[in-house]
Amino acid sequence: MAMKKFLFIICIALCWACTGEDSQEVKRGNRSALPEASGEAGEIVIIVNKKKYDKELGDALKDVFQEYVDGLTRSEPMFTLRVIEPSEFNRIFKIARNIVYVTSFEGNSAADKWLQGTFGEESRNRIMNNPELFMQTSEDQYAKNQKVLQLFGKDDNTLIENLLANRKAVQNYFNIAEKQRLAKALKMSSASKMILQQVNNQLGVNIKIPAGYELANLEDDFMWARFLPPVGASKNLFVYYKDYESQDEFEYENVIALRNEIGKKYIYGDPENEESFMITETEFMQPTFRTIDFNNQYTVEMRGAWKTNNFSVGGTFISYTFVDQPSNRLYYIEGFIIHPNEKHRELIREMESLLTTFRSAAP
Same domain, 9 and 81: yes
User: How many Cβ atoms from other residues are within 10 Å of residue 66's Cβ?
Assistant: 15
One DSSP character per residue, 6-61 reads HHHHHHHHHTS---SHHHHHHHHS-GGGPPBPBS-TTEEEEE--HHHHTSHHHHHH
Same domain, 246 and 355: yes
Same domain, 217 and 177: no
Where would I find the beta strands (DSSP E) of 259-313?
Answer: 278-280, 288-294, 297-308
C-alpha 192/C-alpha 156 separation (Å) is 51
Give residue 312's pLDDT.
77
Give residue 171's pLDDT.
97
Same domain, 237 and 145: no
| Final residue before a domain boundary, out of 130, 164, 185 | 185
Same domain, 8 and 156: yes
Give residue 7's pLDDT.
44
| Final residue before a domain boundary, out of 185, 217, 244 | 185
Same domain, 44 and 112: yes
Bridge partners, residue 247, by sequence? none
One DSSP character per residue, 58-117 reads HHHHHHHHTPBPTT-SS--BSSEEEEE-GGG--HHHHTBSEEEEEEESS--SHHHHHHHT
C-alpha 216/C-alpha 326 separation (Å) is 28
- Short-list 131, 108, 128, 109, CA closest to 119: 128
C-alpha 133/C-alpha 246 separation (Å) is 44
Give residue 77's pLDDT.
97
User: How many Cβ atoms from other residues are within 10 Å of residue 111's Cβ?
Assistant: 23
Q: Is 139 helix (H, G, I), strand (E, B) or coil?
A: strand
Same domain, 115 and 215: no
- How many domains would you assign to the chain? 2
Same domain, 235 and 217: yes
Give residue 31's pLDDT.
73
Query: In terms of residue numbers, what domain contains 7?
Result: 2-185
Indicate which CATH number applies to the domain containing 224: 3.40.1000.10
**H or E stretch covering 259:** helix 252-266
Give residue 183's pLDDT.
87
Give residue 16's pLDDT.
42
Bridge partners, residue 359, by sequence? 206
Give residue 271's pLDDT.
64
Same domain, 181 and 213: no
**H or E stretch covering 266:** helix 252-266
Same domain, 145 and 197: no
Amino acid at 232: G
**H or E stretch covering 193:** helix 190-203
C-alpha 268/C-alpha 342 separation (Å) is 22
Give residue 6's pLDDT.
45
| Final residue before a domain boundary, out of 170, 185, 200 | 185
Indicate which CATH number applies to the domain containing 63: 3.40.50
**H or E stretch covering 337:** strand 329-338
Each residue's pLDDT expressed in tens, for the chain with a length of 363 residues: 444 444 444 444 443 444 344 443 334 356 778 999 999 999 999 999 999 999 999 999 999 999 999 999 999 999 999 999 999 999 999 999 999 999 999 999 999 999 999 999 999 999 999 999 999 999 999 999 999 999 999 999 999 999 999 999 999 999 999 999 998 899 999 999 999 999 999 999 999 999 999 999 999 999 999 999 999 999 999 999 999 999 999 999 999 999 999 999 999 766 667 778 999 999 999 999 999 999 899 999 999 999 998 877 899 999 999 999 999 999 999 999 999 999 999 999 999 999 999 999 755
Q: Is 292 helix (H, G, I), strand (E, B) or coil?
A: strand
Same domain, 16 and 160: yes
C-alpha 347/C-alpha 72 separation (Å) is 11
Same domain, 124 and 239: no
